[in-house]
Structure 1
Amino acid sequence: MHIIAVGLNYRTAPVEVRERFTFTERDLPEAVRQFKQTKSILEGVIVATCNRTELYAVTDRHHLCGHHLRSFMEQWFGLPRNSFTNHLYMYEDDRAIEHLFRVTSGLDSMVIGETQILGQVRDAFLLAQAQKATGTLFNMLFKQAVTTAKRAHAETSIGEAAVSVSYAAVELGKRIFGQFNGKTVMIVGAGKMSELTAKHLYANGAERVLVVNRTYDRALELADKFNGVAMSLDEARERLHEADVVISSTGSPEYVLNRDVVEREMTRRKSRPLFMIDIAVPRDLDPDIASIPNVFLYDIDDLEGIVESNLEQRRKEAAKIEAMIAAEIEQFHSWYRTLGVVPLIRSLQTKAEAIHEETMDSLMNKLPNLDEHELKVIRKLTKSIVNQMMHDPILRIKEMAGEKRADEAMDMFVKLFALEEPLKDLQRSEKRAAEAAQAEAKAAEPFALPGRTGAGLALVKP
């Protein structure tokens, strides 16, 4: 068995490519079902976000799996593979497992340490599980990845430090005001960065939003998002005293607010603190404003310095999470190695049960006068002897299956208990059951979409 991850993300593909490989919420269940039916795919999960599209698969033929996965993408999206192959990455086995853990923990995100991807991976797994596209391996692996990510965010401070300019502005404001409850925010210019910063301030308790823009309609549009007030720049200069926070980001070649205006308005504010953020390049706010008492002026360099400092802090926390992931991967390996021992134990139990039944049949032939109660007591006692004899060997082989020389231990176990034939019988039985399940699933399909057909394969335990 092999685990494969194939995908493209914000590092490998520009947005004009990524947007061509998106799954709608409505189509995703069908995509998962078709993906599971792709040749050589035993289990499958599709993780689709605005920044990545990734296909995770359990396969029995890893050397052909990449080809089959690309074929699925080619058919589903209706695009020739030569238009996207250069943007794809593919990881196998340990690298695929590590990649999933890093993605789920936010270490592979555009904003390191973000938590939104955790919920997206969890939802992708639950959808695949609902579509019966997961089995033994992914049911364990994805649950472990989600649990590890939750623990990583709970036990480290990776998500605490602001790593965007807009978040950094909020963090700075908290140093001055503590909280933004009841504060008034004035946005000068209606650009995206100003809007994001205002959005974060509003979410942190800011009560009023005043929007200033040369184009009044644009000011009105943005003001409506925050139940705010739109106004002209001249009006803003006269009402500056109403604002506790000013965010400025225009394309003006000159200062939109100078020292004289701010000094006059501070008199009307009775020197209550004024927090000003200049995100524009060239700057909108006269640097001399910073010398006015109780005015706290920051420009884009100040904010980016905070962002870089916080990014460095997140990188240090990320190193702790990397160590957690390494331990979890080893734990998954230990669990995976024990899967190989399951058929051995079942074969031993089946052989022991057969021997026990043969012995009971022989006993009843030799002692035909035993009544039902006596037979029941004898059956129970002899069954207990068999179980006790098997208990220690089964316990030991489970322990040895998690060790490095597990294959040698399992080979010896098979030879010691002469399980060659019982194992073959078990494999034949499982194969027949898998073929029956496959035939039943195929018969239940109402139709096959053009260009999206594939042979379904049942999960075969390692």
Structure 2
Amino acid sequence: MHIIVVGLNYRTAPVEVREQFTFDERDLPEALRQLKQTKSIMECVIVATCNRTELYAVVDRHHLCGHYIRSFMEKWFKLSRDQFTNHLYMYEDSKAIDHLFHVTSGLDSMVIGETQILGQVKDAFLLAQEQKVTGTVFNMLFKQGITLAKRAHSETSIGEAAVSVSYAAVELGKRIFGQFHKKKVMIIGAGETGELTAKHLYANGADQVLVVNRTFDRAAQLADKFNGTPCSMEEGLRRLHEVDIVISSTGANEYVLTREQIVSSMQKRKSKPLFMIDIAVPRDLDPGIAAVENVFLYDIDDLEGIVESNLELRRKEAAKIEIMIEQELDSFDQWYKTLGVVPLIRGLQTKAADIHEETLDSLTKKLPGLGEHELKVIRKLTKSMMNQMMQDPILRIKEMAGEKRADEAMDLFVKLFALEEQLVTNQQAKPQAATEPATAAPKKLTPTHAAAAGLAAVTP
């Protein structure tokens, strides 16, 4: 089995490409189900944000899985692969795990150390769990990645300097106007990004903010937090000529403002400049708006260099997080290697328990006069002897599972304790699990087969 990730992000694809690979939140459950049904995929998680779309998978073979996942992307997004293959990256095994840990901790973000991605990855993982498309490997890996990110932000100072996409948008506005006092700002979108934008605006002196949202109640709730003015989309469009800056961050699938609407609004402004900042993916603002006279349009890709001065501290703190990531990689690697030991240990325990029961049955037949108390004492003592005898072999095989010749050690363990029949029986007896390929039980259970059995044995 292998862990892979296939994706594209702000480094590999411009916004006009990324916006073609966004998932509607309502469609994500179906996308997960279809991805899970893709050939060779045993577990999956989809992480989709404004700056990245990544498909994580546990696969039974890695040679063709990149091809299968690209085929899924072709079908789902209705695009031929020659339109996007050059923008994709694919990481396998330790590199895929390392990438996930960098993503969750914010080290792979456009704004280094930002915390919003942690919540997005967590939500993506929980949704995948709800859809029952994760199993043993991803249940461990994503929980470990989320815990690592929380530690990174609590044990370092990487989050002290405010540098998020919304912060960058406000910084761009400050560079244009110097200050926001006496400037009227319109925020389109009252979600998390819109709220962060409003927070930064008020912290920087903005006292005239219109909050525009399709749902007026949501606009009112956000506006009330910052003494702003709530507006419906229709009213916002009518009042567009009043504002100096527009910052848009909705989750709409089509343009919120078109070139024609801006042309009409500008006629009322008498050549007064309008600055528009689009931090949504897909984009909210028609790119054709940039051609309108006295309108200055910026999109999310224009924000990358805005907060360079605040990033130096974060880069220093990132070095500390890199050490944490290395430790977590080692920890996951050790856990993953011991998965193959699980069925061996369980097989030994089952065999010992069977022998124990047979011995007690024989004892009661030969000594029918034993009372209930005596039998209870004998059962307890003999079980204790059995457990003590197994303790050292179990400890040793766990240690050897992390060594270079682990397969040989596990194979020898199976032979020494004659566990072949027991392991095959256990594998046939248990229900098929999400992480286990539907194959017939092998005549000889090798360490590789044992690892698959181990995964299935502990899959929730």
Answer yes or no: is 1:320 the counterpart of 2:320: yes
Task: Label 1:63 to 1:412 Cα distance change in 2 as closer, same or farther (>3 A).
Answer: same
User: 1:29·1:131 contact (CA, 8 Å) conserved in 2?
Assistant: yes
1:153-203 CA-partner distances (Å, limit 9, x unpaired): 22222222355655658999xxxxxxxxxx9812389999xx999945543
Aligned to 2:137: 137
Per-residue deviation, 1:311: 2.5
Q: CA deviation at 1:103?
A: 1.0
Q: For residues 433 and 145 of structure 2, what CA distance do their matches in structure 1 show?
A: 28
Residue 185 of structure 1: SS of its match in structure 2?
coil
Contact residue 128 and residue 134 of structure 1 kept, 8 A? yes
Greater mean alpha carbon deviation, residues 99-108 or residues 376-385: 376-385
Q: Which amino acid aligns with 1:60?
A: D
Aligned to 1:393: 393
CA-CA distance at 1:117 after TM superposition: 0.7
Q: Name the residue aligned to 1:220.
A: 242
CA–CA distance in structure 1, aligned partners of residues 106 and 304 of structure 2: 21
- Separation in structure 2 between the aligned mates of residue 125 and residue 218 of structure 1, nearest angstrom: 39
Q: Is the 8 A contact 2:344 2:414 kept in 1?
A: yes
Separation (CA, whole Å) in 1 of partners of 2:137 and 2:53? 21
Q: Deviations over 1:242-262 (max 9, x none)?
A: xxxxxx9879xxxxxxxxxxx
Report whether the alignment pairs 1:185 with 2:181.
yes
Match of 1:357 in 2: 357
Residues in 2 aligned to 1:37 and 1:304: alpha-carbon distance in whole angstroms: 37
The match for 2:258 is: none
Identity of aligned residues (%): 67
Partner of 1:378: 378
Query: 2: CA distance between counterparts of 1:112 and 1:201?
Result: 18
Opposite residue 134 of structure 2, the aligned amino acid is T
User: What is the letter of the counterpart of residue 183 of structure 2?
Assistant: I
Residue 79 (str. 1) matches residue 79 (str. 2): yes
Partner of 1:27, secondary structure, is helix
- DSSP 3-state at the match of 2:38: coil
The aligned residue for residue 414 of structure 2 is 414
Aligned to 2:56: 56
Measure, in 2, the Cα distance between the counterparts of 1:34 and 1:332: 28
**Whole-angstrom CA distance in 2 between matches of 1:115 and 1:312:** 17
Q: Which residue in 2 is equivalent to 1:158?
A: 158
CA shift for structure 1 position 306: 9.0
Separation of aligned partners in 1, 2:306 and 2:23:
36
Using the TM superposition, give the Cα deviation of residue 127 of structure 1 relative to its aligned residue in structure 2, in angstroms: 0.4
Change (3 A) 1:250 1:94: closer
Alignment match, 1:278: none
Amino acid at match of 1:220: E
Cα distance, 1:217 vs. partner? 5.1
Q: How far has the Cα of 1:222 moved from its partner?
A: 5.7
Matched residue, 2:208: 209
Q: Does 1:147 align with 2:147?
A: yes
**Distance 1:104-1:426 versus aligned 2 partners, 3 A rule:** same
Alignment CA distance shift 1:311-1:184 (3 Å) = closer
Cα separation, partners in 2 of 1:223 and 1:16, compared to 1, 3 Å: closer
Write the distance in 2 (CA, Å) between the matches of 1:322 and 1:141: 17
Match of 2:100 in 1: 100
Report the CA distance shift for 1:385/1:336 in structure 2 as closer, same or farther (over 3 A): same
Superposition deviation, residue 79 in structure 1 = 2.3
How far apart, in 1, do the equivalents of 2:358 and 2:148 lie?
49
User: Is contact 2:184-2:243 (8 Å) kept?
Assistant: no
Work out the CA distance in 2 between the residues paired with 1:409 and 1:438: 24
TM-score for the superposition, normalised by structure 2: 0.67
Say yes or no: does 1:127 pair with 2:149.
Answer: no
Query: How much does 1:83 deviate?
Result: 2.3
Flag the 1:360–1:396 CA change in 2: closer, same or farther, 3 A: same
Opposite residue 400 of structure 1, the aligned amino acid is M
TM-score by length of 1: 0.67
**Cα distance, 1:318 vs structure 2:** 1.8
Give a deviation string over 1:29-51, Cα, whole Å, max 9, x none.
11112212222111110001111
Comparing 196-205 with 381-390, which one deviates more in the overlay? 196-205
- Classify the secondary structure of the residue corresponding to 1:63: coil
The 1:222/1:29 distance shift into structure 2, 3 A limit, reads farther
Displacement of 1:55 in angstroms is 0.4
Pair member with larger Rg: 1
User: Which residue does the alignment assign to 1:24?
Assistant: 24
Match of 2:262 in 1: none
Q: CA RMSD in A?
A: 4.1
**Does the CA-based 8 Å contact 1:191-1:249 persist in structure 2?**
no
Cα drift, residue 204 of structure 1: 2.0
Counterpart in 1 of 2:67?
67
**C-alpha contact 1:169 1:197 (8 A) present in aligned 2:** no
Preserved CA contact (<8 Å) 2:183 2:243 = no
The answer (yes or no) to whether the contact 1:162–1:168 under 8 Å persists in 2 is no
State which drifts further: 98-107 or 358-367. 358-367
Q: Is the 8 A contact 1:184 1:207 kept in 2?
A: yes
Structure 1: 4+ residue segments shifted above 6 A: 169-172, 188-192, 195-198, 248-251, 303-306
Alpha-carbon distance change, 191 to 134 in structure 1, aligned in 2, over 3 angstroms: closer
Distance 1:126 1:191 in 2: 30
The residue aligned with 1:329 is: 329
Q: Which residues of structure 1 form unaligned runs of 5+?
A: 173-182, 226-231, 237-247, 252-302, 440-457
**8 Å contact from structure 2 (residues 3, 96) kept in 1:** yes
Q: Residues 190 and 219 of structure 1 are in contact (CA less than 8 Å); yes or no, is this contact kept in structure 2?
A: no
DSSP-derived class of the 1:423 partner: helix
Matched residue type, 1:53: T
Deviation for aligned residue 1:405: 4.2
Alpha-carbon separation, structure 1, partners of 2:171 and 2:274: 15
**8 Å CA contact 2:6, 2:56 repeated in 1:** yes
Mapped partners of 1:31, 1:197: distance in 2: 29
Whole-angstrom CA distance in 2 between matches of 1:44 and 1:184? 45
Partner Cα separation in structure 2 for residue 368 and residue 39 of structure 1: 59
Task: Name the CA distance, whole Å, in 2 between partners of 1:157 and 1:171.
Answer: 25
Q: What stretches of structure 2 of length at least 5 have no aligned partner?
A: 189-193, 211-237, 248-267, 277-302, 439-453
Distance 2:173 2:16 in 1: 32
1:108 Cα shift? 1.2
Letter in 2 for 1:369: G
**Contact 1:339/1:461 (8 A) holds in 2:** no
Distance 1:170 1:384, change over 3 A: farther
Q: Output the CA distance in 1 between the equivalents of 2:410 and 2:246.
A: 69
Contact 2:45 2:55 (C-alpha < 8 Å) held by counterparts: yes
d(CA) in 2 for partners of 1:354, 1:365: 17
